[in-house]
């Protein structure tokens, strides 16, 4: 069995279609829905009737540590089940491109995660981690405000850059790596994450960073005993051009050829407004299905 860990916030029709597409004989689905989401409880109950494990625990604000907390919570729940062999971390705006047989063939014990050294990233990206965020609590507090956080971090950025010493280490790691959090790895690698005491030290160190989930998985794996099994390919099809007010782009029917020609297991981002015809094409070509 493969575990699908999904973090979701909106667009219930897309989330429902995703869950319905995942074969319950092969995939076990675990969903965390942002506590701020307006998806009604009746619709969450529908997902549970389809076999998904659904919970709402953390308020997920962009950049906050709570997104990583939600993913790790799902991972812990999934790995309580002994029949899980592989784990895939996705969002509610992803969609599978292959059936269970292909997943079983391609997921051969390696870790699929696309990443680069943090030191090679632009300065504004490195700032998220090298400069401690003194206002991080505004992103996790129920009284917090993303706008206030953005205002304060921007107004104090120059002062913090001058006065604060850049952190060249975070917890036990001096070499940091960044990805986009979406990854696939064997269950035993997930157990390493949950049980390694070094990992707990790292988690504590990145609480005061933004987008902690983007450095957590690649940094841990690249510094672990599993590093020789890493394939620097997340097996996700993504278009990094801006379209429909989003970067990465919301995919539509014009992307069908490129999506189906790719080596990806998942494609993102999808939504019910722009991606329906593309999803219909994927279903017809890859799943011999109308929905």
Residue 86, SS3? strand
List the domain range (segments joined by +) for residue 148: 118-163
Which residues lie below 8 Å from residue 226, measured CB to CB, with a gap of 6+?
Answer: 111, 189, 192
20-34, pLDDT tens digit by residue? Answer: 999 999 999 999 999
The per-residue pLDDT for 127 is 81
107-118, pLDDT tens digit by residue? Answer: 999 999 988 888
- Model confidence pTM above 0.75: yes
161-182, pLDDT tens digit by residue? Answer: 666 667 777 888 888 999 877 8
Q: How far apart are CA 261 and CA 237, in angstroms?
A: 10
**Is residue 128 assigned to a domain?**
yes
Note if the bond before 248 is cis, omega within 30 degrees. Answer: yes
The per-residue pLDDT for 163 is 60
248-267, pLDDT tens digit by residue? Answer: 899 999 999 999 999 999 99
**Is residue 265 assigned to a domain?**
no
Say if residue 211 is in the same domain as residue 91. Answer: yes
**Is residue 18 assigned to a domain?**
yes
Q: How far is CA 180 from CA 1, 221, 232, 248, in A?
A: 24, 14, 12, 11
26-46 residues labelled b (16+ CB within 10 A) or e (exposed): ebbbbbbbbeebebeeeebee
Q: How far apart are CA 147 and CA 170, in angstroms?
A: 27
Highest mean pLDDT among 145-149, 202-206, 269-273: 269-273
The per-residue pLDDT for 109 is 94
Say if residue 158 is in the same domain as residue 199. Answer: no
Residue 224, SS3? coil
Q: How far apart are CA 251 and CA 274, in angstroms?
A: 7
**Is residue 132 assigned to a domain?**
yes
Say if residue 67 is in the same domain as residue 209. Answer: yes
Comparing CA positions, the residue from 121, 150, 125, 115 lying closest to residue 135 is 150
Mean pLDDT of 192-197: 90
Question: How many structural domains compose the chain?
Answer: 2
**Is residue 58 assigned to a domain?**
yes
Residue 111 has φ and ψ, to the nearest 5°, of: -105, 120
Say if residue 110 is in the same domain as residue 122. Answer: no
Residue 219 has φ and ψ, to the nearest 5°, of: -65, -45
Say if residue 76 is in the same domain as residue 101. Answer: yes
Res. 85: pLDDT tops 80: yes
Domain boundary among 135, 163, 191: 163
**Is residue 290 assigned to a domain?**
no
Domain boundary among 102, 131, 163: 163
Say if residue 80 is in the same domain as residue 198. Answer: yes
**Is residue 171 assigned to a domain?**
no
Say if residue 153 is in the same domain as residue 105. Answer: no
CB 216 within 8 A of CB 203: yes
Say if residue 10 is in the same domain as residue 150. Answer: no
**Is residue 15 assigned to a domain?**
yes
Domain boundary among 128, 163, 198: 163
Say if residue 68 is in the same domain as residue 141. Answer: no
Say if residue 145 is in the same domain as residue 54. Answer: no
Q: How far apart are CA 185 and CA 190, in angstroms?
A: 7
Residue with tokens 């269970």: 100
The per-residue pLDDT for 29 is 98
271-284 residues labelled b (16+ CB within 10 A) or e (exposed): bbebbbebbebbbe
Say if residue 111 is in the same domain as residue 128. Answer: no
């Amino acid at each position: 069995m493969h575990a699908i860990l999904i973090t979701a916030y909106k667009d219930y029709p897309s989330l429902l279609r995703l869950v319905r597409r995942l074969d319950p004989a092969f995939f076990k689905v675990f969903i965390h829905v942002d506590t701020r989401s307006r998806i009604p409880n009746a619709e969450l109950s529908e997902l549970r009737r389809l076999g998904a494990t659904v919970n709402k625990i953390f308020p997920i604000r962009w950049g906050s540590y709570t997104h990583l907390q939600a993913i790790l919570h799902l991972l812990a729940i999934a790995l309580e089940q002994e029949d899980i062999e592989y784990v895939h971390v996705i969002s509610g705006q992803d969609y599978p491109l292959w059936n269970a047989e292909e997943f079983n063939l391609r997921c051969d014990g390696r870790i699929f995660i696309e990443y680069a050294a943090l030191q090679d990233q632009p300065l504004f990206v490195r700032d998220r981690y090298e400069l401690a965020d003194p206002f991080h609590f505004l992103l996790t507090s129920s009284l917090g405000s993303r706008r206030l956080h953005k205002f304060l971090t921007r107004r104090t950025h120059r002062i913090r850059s001058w006065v604060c010493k850049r952190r060249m280490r975070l917890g036990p790691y001096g070499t940091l790596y960044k990805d986009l959090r979406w990854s696939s790895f064997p269950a035993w690698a997930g157990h390493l994450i949950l049980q390694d005491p070094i990992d707990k030290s790292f988690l504590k160190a990145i609480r005061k960073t933004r987008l902690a989930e983007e450095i957590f998985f690649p940094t841990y794996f690249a510094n672990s005993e599993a590093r020789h099994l890493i394939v620097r390919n997340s097996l996700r099809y993504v278009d990094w051009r801006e379209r429909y007010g989003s970067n990465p782009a919301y995919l539509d029917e014009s992307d069908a050829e490129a999506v189906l020609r790719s080596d990806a297991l998942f494609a993102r981002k999808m939504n019910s407004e722009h991606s329906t015809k593309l999803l219909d094409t994927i279903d017809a070509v890859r799943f011999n299905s109308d929905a």
